Chains A and B, each alone.
Chain A
Amino acid sequence: GAVVSQHPSRVICKSGTSVKIECRSLDFQATTMFWYRQFPKQSLMLMATSNEGSKATYEQGVEKDKFLINHASLTLSTLTVTSAHPEDSSFYICSAGHMETQYFGPGTRLLVL
């Protein structure tokens, strides 16, 4: 089956630093990838749609200058949390569209101190 990887799986950083999260489709090409986040005890929420070769589309309330998305190839999308603050601490998960379904990465748990 289709596999999506994410790296890193966990990251702890200091407030004010930037963190990059990678999402890769390992055995298929994905023109579209999605980034979601989940705060404790809440449901997953779509942050943005990442399109290969074009600008990402952000959901309302998600700051595009804070959450930089780059989808430079058909197998890789990156999410950079710039100047991270404790309120950005969350579980970030990506998915990649393939054959009319979505395959999820294992997620990245970000803790900002």
Chain B
Amino acid sequence: KNEVEQSPQNLTAQEGEFITINCSYSVGISALHWLQQHPGGGIVSLFMLSSGKKKHGRLIATINIQEKHSSLHITASHPRDSAVYICAAPSSGGGADGLTFGKGTHLIIQP
């Protein structure tokens, strides 16, 4: 079963700073998910990526399949980016599997 580790667990930064959240996993996967969870609990899927890099607005996700590592970057961070960011990988590696989640990174962006 996949083990997913995230770092840091908590991150406080000033508005405008470049943010990096890291994720590593133990079992080779078809794709990795980055999710955002707001205080109310609702989850938004940010990215699903299987190789290389994806960009959406100020968010960038990269993955290195060989090293089993992914990063989520936020450029020009803003207080509205404050949330918990979670990476998740298929439990047994395959695309049809349920996900194993990291513990999340609690991000606070101060004005």
Contacts and interface: CB of A to CB of B under 8 A. Distances in A.
Interface string A60-94: 00000000000000000000000000000001010
A45 interface: yes
B33 A44 contact: no
Given A32-B96, A43-B102, A46-B91, A102 B45 contact: yes
Given A43-B103, A43-B104, A45-B101, A91 B95 contact: no
A97 B98 CA distance: 9
B110 interface: no
A100 interface: yes
Nearest to B90: A102
B48 A101 contact: yes
B52 interface: no
Contacts of A45: 101
Interface string A90-113: 010101010011111011010000
Nearest to B106: A41
Contacts of B86: 43-44
Interface in B3-50: 30-31, 33, 35, 41-45, 48
13 contacts: A34-B99, A42-B103, A43-B102, A43-B103, A44-B101, A59-B98, A91-B41, A100-B30, A100-B95, A103-B45, A106-B42, A106-B43, A107-B43
Interface of A: 32, 34, 36, 38, 42-46, 49, 59, 91, 93, 95, 97, 100-104, 106-107, 109
